[in-house]
Structure 1
Amino acid sequence: MAAMSYLSVIERYHEYEATVHELMESILTGIADAELFKQPKVDVKAMKGIAKSYPFVELMYLLDGQGLQISQNIAVVDHQIELIPLGGNRDRSQRPYFINRDESDGVNITRPYLSNASGNLCLSASLAIYQQEQKLGYLVVDVDLTRLIEFMMGDSARRRVTPAFKAVYGVIVAGLFVLVTVLLWTALRDIYGLFTVERIGQDPLQPFGIIIFMTLALAIFDLGKTILEEEVLMHKDIFRHSSTRRTITRFVSTILIAISIEALLTMFKASLGEKQYIEPAIWMMLAVVGLLVGLGAYVYLGAKAEWLLIKTQAYKSAKK
């Protein structure tokens, strides 16, 4: 459950681009006021309201008609408003939101870009402010695109408790790795016992017990590795069926490998004269085939359902 990757953020932005622009327009329209230009600083009170309602807003400032910044930067850091005087008198006439200003008198919104300050993907939106048909300047708002996407999808609360989830998963994975260590130690001890003089040739099936321990260690390690990657290291988009399908596929694949090896070992035991293992080996092989067929059907039907869902959403968007 790591933070959204840049690729995921861009995909979501293109999916909801029209909605993102509508939200940005409503924010700027709501706070745009000629009174902002009559004060030496941007209205901090207005910015506090914006920061409380829209936690993805990062920065706000004013430009004159030539693109020169005439106000301090008002930044939102950890839900607190901070005045940053570094932006005053800075020439921003080459910024995309200023260059494209003549295309429309409404809100101009840039394409996603990497912020020099935070290194995150962000958007900048600007709106020309008039008083009695005289242009006073531009109001500019910068937003964190990742947090904007999370806000729109109702995922902000989960993001706040994600560190706690990661800690729990980390403890579980650590416990699994401890079990792997114990199993490997047991297997290595038995391997050493195979070479002692008094035990050579005593039990021809003893190596199979060692293989079982190592197979279990492999399966548990692969399970812990899957949990670590899926729930801690990688971003998991719970709103996409493909993410859940990927997790289930990896988990069932781990079980398939473990059962297949156990079935093969049981079959070997039967071939060495232990006839009572023939029926369990056959049932385990059938279980492997059933799991494999079920997994294939699940992956195919899940992918088809997601494709139909995407196609339906695209059709609805085209009709609008």
Structure 2
Amino acid sequence: MEEFLTIYEVNKEKIEDFIINSIHNLGSLKDNEENNFSNIFSVFPSLELVYTVNKDTKIQNSPNYYRNKLDASASNQSRSYIIDKLHFKDKSTAFSSPYISSATRSNCITLTIKEGDIIIFLDFKIETLLERLELIELNKPFHTLTKIFYAIAGFSMVLLALFIILYSLGGFFISLIIHYDFTLDAIFKPIIALTLGIAIFDLAKTILEQEVFFKSYSRNSKVDTRMVIKFLITIIIALSIEGLMVVFKIAIENYTEMLNALYLITGISFIIIALSIFIYLTSKKYK
């Protein structure tokens, strides 16, 4: 939800101008109260709630008009707390800052328009408004399907990472306690497995955070780039440990094979250089 508010703040002027221009094209809004403002609801899919307030007393003098119902219990309540938080575009129109509506329980902004002796309040749902203006891409059925898929894949990766960690620790203790194996392989292989387990878990965590629990809708999101960088760094660490183990093993057993260790370390160095170039280019892109 924080992302919605960020996108809204960046495009605030454009959004407010769009709403005002569209409202002015409808003519007098007060005349639409006879049909429960249905014409206005049809024009604005993001519109959730309409009601009117007395200009002098700041008391609501109409029911809450929703898209498919009305609620008379909201009448005769003071709305001065909202009016005090408005920023005026001109003498007759003003907008509120984003807030959570007590009536709809969604993040919204309120537009107020003075007509005669009343003030008309219109609550717009931010999520739908951003989608309408193509500032976010949101398709709820497809989003639900992808969310389920990512949840299954993410939690499966978490279980796989946990299995790798437990397997490596189990093998390590078996080697030390049962087989009394104190070789480099017995020490370094569990470290490599643990590092790979961390890499898999970190990737799963990023997928679950960004695609399941806190879905990113922004087209310009840096999430994918950060995910690739974090995953590659973990893999580089695992390969570096493997290279260190190979160097020690060859140094102890057979110096003639040291060239193979050099090839491995050189390959890791090329990956580090490629990752550095990737980070540099992406950082320039987002400046």
TM-score normalised to structure 2 length: 0.82
**In the alignment, is residue 188 of structure 1 matched against residue 169 of structure 2?**
yes
> How far apart, CA to CA, are the structure 2 residues paired with 1:107 and 1:15?
21
Question: How far 1:202 moved relative to its partner?
Answer: 9.2
Question: How far 1:142 moved relative to its partner?
Answer: 0.8
- 1:249-268 to structure 2, matched below 5 A, reads 249-268=229-248
Question: How far 1:124 moved relative to its partner?
Answer: 0.9
One-letter amino acid matched to 1:73: N
Asked if the contact 1:97/1:124 (under 8 Å) is kept, the reply is no
- Give 2:42's aligned residue: 49
Asked if the contact 2:185/2:245 (under 8 Å) is kept, the reply is no
> How far apart, CA to CA, are the structure 2 residues paired with 1:289 and 1:240?
31
Asked if the contact 2:60/2:78 (under 8 Å) is kept, the reply is yes
- Give 2:95's aligned residue: 109
- Give 2:152's aligned residue: 171
Asked if the contact 1:230/1:247 (under 8 Å) is kept, the reply is no
- Give 1:36's aligned residue: 32
**In the alignment, is residue 281 of structure 1 matched against residue 261 of structure 2?**
yes
Gaps of 5+ in 1: 130-134, 308-320
- Give 2:55's aligned residue: 65
Q: 1:120 to 1:237 in 2, by over 3 A?
A: same
Asked if the contact 1:105/1:127 (under 8 Å) is kept, the reply is no
CA-to-aligned-CA distance 1:248-288 (integer Å, 9 cap, x gap): 22222222222222222222222221457634432332233
- Give 2:82's aligned residue: 95
Question: How far 1:178 moved relative to its partner?
Answer: 3.0
One-letter amino acid matched to 2:277: A
- 1:97-246 to structure 2, matched below 5 A, reads 104-118=90-104, 120-129=106-115, 135-153=116-134, 155-195=136-176, 199-200=179-180, 205-246=185-226
Question: How far 1:150 moved relative to its partner?
Answer: 3.3
Q: 1:295 to 1:96 in 2, by over 3 A?
A: farther
**Number of residues paired by the alignment?**
285
Give the secondary structure class of the aligned counterpart of 1:157: coil
> How far apart, CA to CA, are the structure 2 residues paired with 1:175 and 1:196?
31
CA-to-aligned-CA distance 1:144-188 (integer Å, 9 cap, x gap): 223322332353533553332222112112222332343334323
RMSD: 3.1
Gaps of 5+ in 2: none
Which residue among 52, 60, 65 is the counterpart of 1:74?
Answer: 65
> How far apart, CA to CA, are the structure 2 residues paired with 1:45 and 1:269?
78
CA-to-aligned-CA distance 1:69-90 (integer Å, 9 cap, x gap): 22211124xxxx2211122122
> How far apart, CA to CA, are the structure 2 residues paired with 1:13 and 1:72?
29
- Give 1:16's aligned residue: 11
TM-score normalised to structure 1 length: 0.75
Give the secondary structure class of the aligned counterpart of 2:50: strand
